[in-house]
């Protein structure tokens, strides 16, 4: 997720744009850039935070009062000056900034190269500038922009400059947020209100398939079919910080609610439902070598480690590959038996976790194929692995990992399809998994709508200082993750355990003051888990159950129930974790803690 700002008005544009980028920096911060219309289009870009761009500008505003700017969260093309936005066309008359993913950028780029367009970056976004340039050879500029937008597949928030129209900005939206701040003799376009609230509280929210043509004291909105429409002007009553959280009280809650989008983004252009397969471009270069792999070791930390445990179940059951999962901090001190037919997979949101990085280096030194599932593009782990798949989940600000986790599980399901279909998984099974995976974002939305009921249950948990989280098979790691979530943001002692193991010791802890949270979907081990629940019930233990919609049996046993939709067993973790994230969040805020920055924790543990 990137940050976009556009300004046209009576002030010098550069200071407004840079200030706006600073407010949007939480959306992405690996590089930034500005374009303004002075004598022609003047563009300055810099890798790194907005402050680096500001230094590079050195106070120069080119005397311009119209411009666009961008702070990047890389999805295609590593963070670098050349890949930073804004991007231009061959003529130098067009400059644009983009937030989103152009799914068909490769085919468009090939078409444009065939028409002798010269590209200067590795990004998908640059294609849009050249496409507009191509159409503008025959059409009025506004029509050329609309024609280009009708060719694009994917998502975009765009702000576009045309040096032949120095008093205008074109702003279009499909799938990525974009709004227009309506000021006095000035107008501001931005990805969210945090870049606007300083100048005006009057905003127009663009909807998907709309484009605004913005002047300093006027604007017009048309649909992608060039039909003029009237838009309501809303009044903002948000502070800058509230705007960054888009109305949520905390980044953690915002990111929990971003999970439908994060899971969708992880699948974008990768899930082939009709074929029952996955297209993972990031593994193309090692595709042949992957065919020879006879073992996978997954090495990661914390929540990412729990994602790996679920990946183990998926890959062994559906791709028939032996998998081991190791804490990275342990892996590197063992003498792991590794050879060229071993793949070591690092899962890391930050891509900077020292233990995971060390594990990858150790694996590579022993000849393993090093793979990564990483969220931060261009991070150290991403650069040091031989190949991998990016989450494209956008920045995760809350220390407690939520949307990155469900994104990791989505990519592990895609990897299972990718490897499974290479290794004998039937087309029918592939199609079943793929079509169910496609539904997960909707399932998550349904669970999020239960947030108030979950908040009530959290309130009842407030008086306890110990909790046991239990699950089995695919949901044993979810029990571990649920316990970690509540531990790290509400400082309650919680232990995750395999439900079948509880009778080998932990059940001694159970009494009326020691509740148990069971992840007990209707799956292949449901009956076994019900027996564990009955054992705890018999000892006076309180039961909170995460259960499948329509399960009547559990209602006789559990004191509290949160229902989740029925789905394939291998995909239940993607839905079962969401109630546990919300439970942890509401217990944490119930205790008055700063759930975004819990005590003693860092978002990325770059020390060993
Ligand atoms: C999860 O909520 C924690 N913040 C922590 O366990 C985290 O998952 C772990 O430090 C690994 O981080 P990474 O995914 O960035 O490598």
94: which 2 tokens? 């067009």
Nearest Cα neighbor of 215 from 189, 233, 178 is 189
Q: Is the Cβ–Cβ distance between 476 and 499 less than 8 Å?
A: yes
Ordered alpha helix ranges (H), 350-469: 354-365, 380-384, 403-422, 427-448, 451-461
Indicate the pTM of the whole model. Answer: 0.79
Q: Which atom of ligand 1 is nearest to the CA of 401?
A: 2
299: which 2 tokens? 């090495």
Question: Are 287 and 350 members of one domain?
Answer: yes
pLDDT of 394 reads 85
Nearest Cα neighbor of 486 from 517, 452, 451, 522 is 517
Q: Using the 8-state DSSP alphabet, how is residue 232 labeled?
A: P
Ligand 1, atom 5, residue with closest C-alpha: 302
How many alpha carbons lie under 13 Å from residue 321 in its C-beta half-sphere? 31
pLDDT of 536 reads 94
Question: Are 369 and 302 members of one domain?
Answer: yes
φ, ψ of residue 234 to 5 degrees: the values are -95, 160
Query: How many whole angstroms separate alpha carbon 374 and alpha carbon 5?
Result: 27
pLDDT of 486 reads 97
| Structural domain span for residue 333 | 254-442
Q: Is the CB of 350 under 6 A from ligand 1?
A: yes
Domain-located, residue 28 = yes
Q: Which atom of ligand 1 is nearest to the CA of 604?
A: 15
How many alpha carbons lie under 13 Å from residue 30 in its C-beta half-sphere? 24
Q: Is the Cβ–Cβ distance between 558 and 547 less than 8 Å?
A: yes
Q: Is the CB of 454 under 6 A from ligand 1?
A: no
Q: Is the CB of 303 under 6 A from ligand 1?
A: yes
Q: Using the 8-state DSSP alphabet, how is residue 504 labeled?
A: G
Ligand 1 geometric centre to CA of 306 (Å): 10
How far lies 299's CA from each of 127, 296, 361, 363, 388, in Å? 37, 10, 11, 10, 14
Nearest Cα neighbor of 18 from 67, 63, 62 is 67
Ligand 1 geometric centre to CA of 69 (Å): 32
Which entry of 2, 301, 403, 485 is annotated as an active-site residue?
2
Tell me which of 195, 221, 244 is where a domain ends. 244
Ligand 1 geometric centre to CA of 53 (Å): 30
| Probe target for ligand 1 pocket from 250, 255, 302, 305, with the most ligand atoms within 8 Å of CB | 302
Q: Is the CB of 557 under 6 A from ligand 1?
A: no
Block residue for tokens 């300055």? 44
Domain-located, residue 249 = no
How many alpha carbons lie under 13 Å from residue 573 in its C-beta half-sphere? 33
Q: Who contacts 519 (Cβ-Cβ below 8 Å, separation ≥6)?
A: 469, 470, 471, 472, 475, 478, 479, 482, 546, 576, 580
Segment 63-75, tens digit of pLDDT: 999 999 999 877 6
Ordered alpha helix ranges (H), 27-117: 50-57, 105-114
Tell me which of 412, 442, 472 is where a domain ends. 442
Ligand 1 geometric centre to CA of 238 (Å): 31
- Total domains present in the chain: 3
Q: Is the CB of 379 under 6 A from ligand 1?
A: no
- Cis bond upstream, residue 86 (ω within 30): yes
Ligand 1 geometric centre to CA of 332 (Å): 18
Question: Are 421 and 487 members of one domain?
Answer: no
Segment 75-111, tens digit of pLDDT: 667 778 888 999 999 999 999 999 988 989 999 999 9
What's the 3-state SS for 324-377?
Answer: EEEEHHHHCCCCCCCCCCEEEEEEECCCCCHHHHHHHHHHHHCCCEEEEEECCC
pLDDT of 1 reads 67
Q: Is the CB of 301 under 6 A from ligand 1?
A: yes
Ligand 1 geometric centre to CA of 573 (Å): 18
Query: How many whole angstroms separate alpha carbon 415 and alpha carbon 270?
Result: 10
Domain-located, residue 603 = no
Q: Who contacts 301 (Cβ-Cβ below 8 Å, separation ≥6)?
A: 327, 328, 329, 348, 353, 355, 356, 605
Q: Which atom of ligand 1 is nearest to the CA of 603?
A: 4
168: which 2 tokens? 């205008």
pLDDT of 428 reads 97
What sign does the dihedral 573-480-265-442 (CA atoms) show? positive
Q: Is the CB of 401 under 6 A from ligand 1?
A: yes
Query: How many whole angstroms separate alpha carbon 156 and alpha carbon 159?
Result: 10
Segment 148-199, tens digit of pLDDT: 999 999 989 999 999 999 999 999 999 888 999 999 999 999 998 889 989 9
Which entry of 11, 455, 528, 603 is annotated as an active-site residue?
603
Q: Which atom of ligand 1 is nearest to the CA of 400?
A: 2
3-state SS, residue 242: helix
Neighbouring-strand partners of residue 493: 466
Ligand 1 geometric centre to CA of 397 (Å): 12
Segment 172-181, tens digit of pLDDT: 999 888 999 9
Ligand 1 geometric centre to CA of 365 (Å): 25
Question: Are 292 and 369 members of one domain?
Answer: yes
Query: How many whole angstroms separate alpha carbon 73 and alpha carbon 28?
Result: 4
Q: Which atom of ligand 1 is nearest to the CA of 350?
A: 15
Burial code (b: 16+ CB inside 10 Å, e: under 16) for 140-156 equals ebbebbbbbbebbebbb
Total count of residues recorded for the chain: 608
Nearest Cα neighbor of 349 from 423, 288, 399 is 399
485: which 2 tokens? 């979530």
Ligand 1, atom 4, residue with closest C-alpha: 400
Question: Are 224 and 300 members of one domain?
Answer: no
Ligand 1 geometric centre to CA of 589 (Å): 21
Q: Who contacts 431 (Cβ-Cβ below 8 Å, separation ≥6)?
A: 273, 274, 275, 276
Domain-located, residue 584 = yes
292: which 2 tokens? 């020879």
Q: Is the CB of 490 under 6 A from ligand 1?
A: no
Ligand 1 geometric centre to CA of 51 (Å): 27
Query: How many whole angstroms separate alpha carbon 148 and alpha carbon 94?
Result: 13
| Probe target for ligand 1 pocket from 307, 605, 606, with the most ligand atoms within 8 Å of CB | 605
Question: Are 164 and 296 members of one domain?
Answer: no
3-state SS, residue 72: strand
pLDDT of 28 reads 66
3-state SS, residue 175: strand
Domain-located, residue 598 = no
46: which 2 tokens? 């810099």
Q: Using the 8-state DSSP alphabet, how is residue 179 labeled?
A: E
pLDDT of 83 reads 87
Q: Is the Cβ–Cβ distance between 268 and 260 less than 8 Å?
A: no
Domain-located, residue 595 = no
Question: Are 49 and 174 members of one domain?
Answer: yes
Question: Are 109 and 20 members of one domain?
Answer: yes
Please give the helix or strand (H or E) that residue 170 lies within, else none. strand 169-174
Q: Who contacts 88 (Cβ-Cβ below 8 Å, separation ≥6)?
A: 35, 41, 43, 94, 95, 96, 120, 126, 129
Give me the helix-helix angle, 451-461 and 572-590, nearest 10°.
60
Q: Is the CB of 356 under 6 A from ligand 1?
A: yes
Question: Are 404 and 461 members of one domain?
Answer: no
Domain-located, residue 332 = yes
Question: Are 272 and 418 members of one domain?
Answer: yes
Ligand 1, atom 9, residue with closest C-alpha: 302
Q: Is the CB of 604 under 6 A from ligand 1?
A: yes
C-alpha torsion angle, residues 45, 133, 9, 31 (rounded to 10): -20
Q: Is the CB of 605 under 6 A from ligand 1?
A: yes
C-alpha torsion angle, residues 6, 10, 16, 17 (rounded to 10): 30
Cα radius of gyration (the chain):
25
Q: Is the CB of 402 under 6 A from ligand 1?
A: no
Q: Is the CB of 302 under 6 A from ligand 1?
A: yes
Tell me which of 244, 269, 284 is where a domain ends. 244
Domain-located, residue 596 = no
Q: Is the CB of 399 under 6 A from ligand 1?
A: yes
Q: Residue 301 catalytic?
A: no
Q: Is the CB of 349 under 6 A from ligand 1?
A: yes
Ligand 1 geometric centre to CA of 38 (Å): 46
Nearest Cα neighbor of 358 from 378, 396, 329 is 329
Please give the helix or strand (H or E) that residue 305 lies within, else none. helix 302-318
Q: Is the CB of 111 under 6 A from ligand 1?
A: no
Question: Are 428 and 455 members of one domain?
Answer: no
Query: How many whole angstroms separate alpha carbon 145 and alpha carbon 161?
Result: 11
CATH of the domain at 13: 3.60.20.10
CB atoms within 10 A of CB 160: 27
Q: Residue 366 catalytic?
A: no
Nearest Cα neighbor of 13 from 288, 311, 291, 216 is 216
CATH of the domain at 500: 3.40.50.10490
Q: Which residues of the chain have pLDDT under 50?
A: none
Question: Are 478 and 428 members of one domain?
Answer: no
271: which 2 tokens? 């899930």
């Amino acid at each position: 997720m990137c940050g976009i700002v556009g300004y046209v008005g009576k002030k010098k544009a550069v200071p407004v744009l840079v200030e706006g980028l600073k407010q949007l920096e939480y959306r992405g911060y690996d590089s930034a850039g500005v374009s303004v219309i002075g004598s022609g289009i003047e563009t300055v870009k810099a890798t790194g935070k907005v402050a680096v761009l500001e230094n590079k500008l050195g106070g120069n505003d080119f005397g311009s009062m119209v411009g666009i700017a961008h702070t990047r969260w890389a999805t295609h093309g590593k963070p670098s000056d050349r890949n930073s936005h804004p991007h231009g066309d061959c003529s130098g008359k067009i400059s644009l900034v983009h937030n989103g993913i152009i799914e068909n950028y490769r085919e468009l780029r090939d078409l444009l190269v065939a028409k002798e367009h010269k590209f200067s970056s590795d990004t998908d976004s640059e294609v849009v500038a050249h496409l507009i340039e191509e159409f503008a050879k025959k059409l009025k500029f506004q029509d050329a922009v609309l024609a280009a937008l009708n060719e694009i597949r994917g998502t975009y928030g765009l702000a576009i400059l045309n040096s032949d129209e120095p008093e205008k900005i074109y702003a279009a939206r499909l799938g990525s947020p974009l709004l227009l701040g309506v000021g006095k003799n000035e107008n501001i376009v931005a990805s969210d209100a945090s870049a606007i609230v300083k100048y005006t509280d009057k905003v127009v929210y663009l909807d998907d398939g709309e484009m605004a043509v913005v002047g300093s004291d006027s604007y017009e909105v048309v649909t992608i079919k060039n039909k003029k429409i009237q838009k309501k002007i809303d009044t903002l009553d948000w502070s800058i910080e509230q705007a960054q959280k888009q109305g949520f009280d905390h980044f953690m809650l915002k990111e929990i609610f971003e999970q439908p989008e994060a899971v969708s983004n992880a699948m974008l252009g990768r899930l082939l439902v009709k074929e029952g397969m996955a297209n993972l471009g990031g593994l193309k270069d090692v595709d042949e070598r992957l065919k020879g792999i006879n073992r996978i070791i997954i090495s990661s930390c914390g929540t990412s480690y729990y994602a790996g445990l679920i990946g183990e179940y998926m890959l062994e059951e559906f791709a028939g590959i032996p998998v081991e999962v190791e804490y990275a901090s342990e892996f590197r001190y063992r003498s792991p038996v590794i050879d060229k037919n071993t793949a070591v997979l690092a899962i890391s949101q930050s891509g900077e976790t020292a233990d995971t990085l060390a594990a990858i280096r150790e694996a590579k030194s022993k000849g393993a194929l090093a793979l990564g599932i990483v969220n931060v593009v261009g991070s150290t782990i991403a650069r040091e692995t031989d190949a991998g798949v990016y989450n494209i989940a956008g920045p995760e600000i809350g220390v407690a990992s939520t949307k990155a986790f469900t994104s990791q599980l989505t990519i592990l399901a895609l990897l299972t399809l990718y490897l499974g279909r290479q290794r004998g998984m039937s087309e029918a099974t592939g199609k079943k998994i793929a079509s169910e995976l496609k539904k997960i974002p909707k399932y998550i939305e349904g669970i999020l709508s239960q947030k108030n009921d979950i908040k009530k249950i959290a309130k009842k948990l407030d008086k306890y200082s110990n909790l046991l989280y239990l699950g089995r098979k695919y949901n044993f790691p979810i029990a571990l993750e649920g316990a970690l979530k509540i531990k790290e943001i509400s400082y309650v002692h919680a232990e995750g355990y395999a439900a079948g193991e509880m009778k080998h010791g932990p059940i001694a802890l159970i009494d009326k003051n020691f509740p148990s949270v069971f992840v007990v979907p209707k799956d292949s081990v449901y009956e076994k888990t019900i027996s564990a629940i009955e054992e705890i019930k018999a000892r006076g233990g309180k039961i909170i159950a995460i259960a499948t919609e329509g399960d009547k049996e559990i209602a006789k046993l559990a004191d509290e129930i949160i229902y989740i939709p029925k789905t394939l067993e291998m995909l239940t973790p993607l839905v079962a974790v969401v109630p546990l994230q919300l439970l942890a969040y509401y217990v944490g805020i119930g205790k008055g803690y700063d759930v975004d920055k819990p005590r003693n924790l860092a978002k990325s543990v770059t020390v060993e």
